[in-house]
A and B are shown apart, each in its own frame.
Chain A
Amino acid sequence: MSRLVVKGGRVIDPSQNIDRAADVAIEDGSVREIGENIDATGSEVFDASGLIVAPGFIDMHVHLREPGFEHSETIETGSRSAAAGGFTSICCMPNTQPVNDNATVTHFILERARERAVVNVYPIGAITKNSAGEELAAIASMKEAGIVAISDDGKPVMNARVIRRAMEFARSSNLPVIQHCEDLHLSAGGDMHEGIQSTRLGLRGIPRASEDVMVARDILLAELTGARYHVAHISSRNAMQMVAFAKSKGLSVTAEATPHHFALTNNDMPPYDSNYKMKPPLRDESDVGAIVDGLANGTIDAIATDHAPHPGDEKMQEFERCPFGILGFETAIGLALERLYHSGRIGLAHMVSLFTENPARILSLRRGTLKRGAAADLTIFGLEHEWTYDVARSPSKSRNSPFHGHKFRGGQVATIVRGQIVWRLNG
């Protein structure tokens, strides 16, 4: 029997309304008990004094690039970067090569994850074959193989009839539909948020409305079909209002926000710096304000990073030719603390729920809790220690982060997956 006791920390588990000083005992990869002064004789001990001990953080929106784009990232390197960011579970989007649109690819991902990944990997299947937006993918067999949601992330389903059918099918398979909301006709050719900055820089704009119209359409279709519908990486203040409206009507509509969308605006981008190029694009102060409000008032359910590695040579091009997306894992907790907790907008337990019980509920994962018998996934983080992000030291294969050199106050200290310490600060 292997036993680990995490001693002396402040345990925050929103799924049980726990927020108190306590020890956590782990046996054979499961949570045994939470209590005071647990006897650690004969156990491995992790000293968590001065630290927060939480259920393992879940990142419900990531790109691991394998199979097909292993020069950008692999399931192994991505999982190591996730662990270094304090995440114990990650959900990988299907836009690989081949696309995860059938059970064979799903099996491959899960098999590779079992062999190489240091954190839990949950695949998300495609909505349509090859994510081409036309024919439905093999959703039910992927569900049997282990997908936790469907999405054509990066290639939004433009045809309203197709997404309607997908919602109906997903409902019968008890899967949520995750949409990257972007009307491709409105955003066509765009490289950054449409506004004063794009006008100054002579870059084609991605209007806020390109996101809004698809969120609006999909909410109406979610009502029509009764599907569980999730808005990926919400970035627009208008889309926020629509999600709030959907929730007020009692629809099964949820939303996630990325750290970069609540931490940065398009004014923060040094001219033509492709490490600030992603979809949806960084918008303006009013949008960032709305997202922080949405996180605080519960309109937004989860924080997800949209970790999107791209190798240096792909980002070292003319801005308009650079691919969209940035790294996300290792700066997520630091940014959440900086923008949500230290700024006084969100309490710590609420912040933890955005990373744990909420994404677990959206995806029906048996994670995100420290209930007795649950898998012993723990994220241990500090609130005050100062550190500087050095992307050159990331386990990721890519380096595309706008937060290189950023100074953080507080962040991840250790990551425990099924009772094993898979990453620790300075470890």
Chain B
Amino acid sequence: MQKGLLGIAELSRGEIEEILSRARDFQPPPRQSFKRFDTLRGRMIVNVFFEASTRTRTSFEIAAKRLGADTLSITASGSSVSKGESLVDTLNTLGAMRPDAIVMRHSASGAPQFLSRYLPIPIVNAGDGTHEHPTQALLDARTILDRRATLEGLRIAIIGDIAHSRVARSNIYLLSKFGVSIVLCGPASLLPRDMAAIAPGVELTTDMRKAIRDADVIMMLRVQLERQNEASFPSNEYFQFFGLRPEHVQLAKPNVIVMHPGPINRGREISSEVADSQRSAILNQVENGIAVRMAVLEKVLAP
């Protein structure tokens, strides 16, 4: 298979470390803009987003531009997809235009894996259904490592709609490879028992206080109303039992890092006091998104 980045599950710890360490080179010094490089000058990267996304798409575009690549972004609503063209045909058409890489987001789990079997072009997965979002997990790890010497031995709580979260899956795969003890927490109907078996070091709880106690990191997930095709939980109770508030943060380690992949729903899964607090690393995550995606694109496209 041509190189690309389809998921964290199939990466080795060494490959992950390599990306994280290279991403550090791309982080801008405080209060400065990202440096420009010309590593990928003359290369063409096509971003195909079959599912709406502003921040991830923008982040990939900036990352590509900072490396000197040409980029083109296509969103599903404006493309032939809405005219009933199949995924294979759409991507074959794009492939015939000879881009050097395709960055894609799709609402179907496995869509990039499926295409990578047929297309000779490297594919970077920018999120597929409820499967993986590998660059999110990499940027989360970079953000933690900016504040901790190592991931080894940390206790990290991931809280929210675990069942439908590709962010949770990618983070579980990544953190597990580094010996993190991972606590997954959410309403029982959004917390599949099989999650405990997808990687070593995972435990489940529906009690938010138990999840947060002594945590080094709290990762909040967005409540994904668009992936709910049924009422899996009483939504008016959500914030009461699974919304992150200042009194929860007290239970964690004193220097706990609060993270969220965004966009945040204030008052639904996280209170404004916590989101805007000193403990929050939410904006650093956004910044690291660009650095990590630069490292990924460089690795994927390096000659």
How far, in Å, is A411 (CB) from chain B's closest CB?
29
| A318 engages B114 (CB within 8 Å) | yes
Contacts of B87 in A (CB 8 A): 317-318
Q: Which residue of B lies closest to A320 (CB)?
A: B108
Count residues of chain B with CB under 8 A from any CB of chain A: 25
Q: Taking A317-B88, A318-B111, A321-B108 as contacts, is the C-beta distance between A201 and B131 under 8 angstroms?
A: yes
Q: In the complex, which of the residues B110, B131, B169 has the most CB atoms of chain A within 10 Å of its own CB atom?
A: B110
What mask results when residues 273 to 287 of chain A are scored 1 for a CB within 8 Å of chain B, else 0? Answer: 000000000000000
How far, in Å, is B51 (CB) from chain A's closest CB?
12
Instruction: Tell me if B166 is interfacial: C-beta within 8 Å of chain A.
Output: yes
Instruction: Tell me if A195 is interfacial: C-beta within 8 Å of chain B.
Output: yes
Counting contact residues on chain A (CB < 8 A from B), the size range is 20 to 34
Count of CB-CB pairs between chains A and B under 8 Å: 62
Q: Which residue of A lies closest to B108 (CB)?
A: A318
Q: Which residue of B lies closest to A203 (CB)?
A: B109
Q: Taking A317-B86, A318-B108 as contacts, is the C-beta distance between A199 and B194 under 8 angstroms?
A: yes
Instruction: Tell me if B16 is interfacial: C-beta within 8 Å of chain A.
Output: no
Contacts of B130 in A (CB 8 A): 202-203
How far, in Å, is B163 (CB) from chain A's closest CB?
8
Contacts of B109 in A (CB 8 A): 201-203, 272, 319-320
Given the complex of chains A and B, what is the CA–CA distance between A198 and B109 in angstroms?
10
What mask results when residues 231 to 272 of chain B are scored 1 for a CB within 8 Å of chain A, else 0? Answer: 000000000000000000000000000000000000000000
Q: Taking A199-B195, A200-B9, A202-B166 as contacts, is the C-beta distance between A272 and B110 under 8 angstroms?
A: yes
Instruction: Tell me if B99 is interfacial: C-beta within 8 Å of chain A.
Output: no
How far, in Å, is A147 (CB) from chain B's closest CB?
37
How far, in Å, is B297 (CB) from chain A's closest CB?
24
How far, in Å, is B30 (CB) from chain A's closest CB?
37
| A202 engages B194 (CB within 8 Å) | no
Given the complex of chains A and B, what is the CA–CA distance between A208 and B110 in angstroms?
23
Interface residues of B in 95-146 (CB under 8 A from A): 106, 108-111, 113-114, 128-132
How far, in Å, is B178 (CB) from chain A's closest CB?
19
Extra A-B contacts (19), CB below 8 Å, given A199-B198, A319-B114: A188-B230, A189-B229, A199-B192, A199-B194, A200-B198, A201-B109, A202-B109, A202-B128, A202-B129, A202-B132, A202-B169, A203-B110, A272-B110, A272-B113, A317-B86, A317-B114, A318-B106, A320-B108, A320-B129
Interface positions of A (Cβ within 8 A of B): 188-189, 194-196, 198-203, 205, 271-272, 313, 316-321
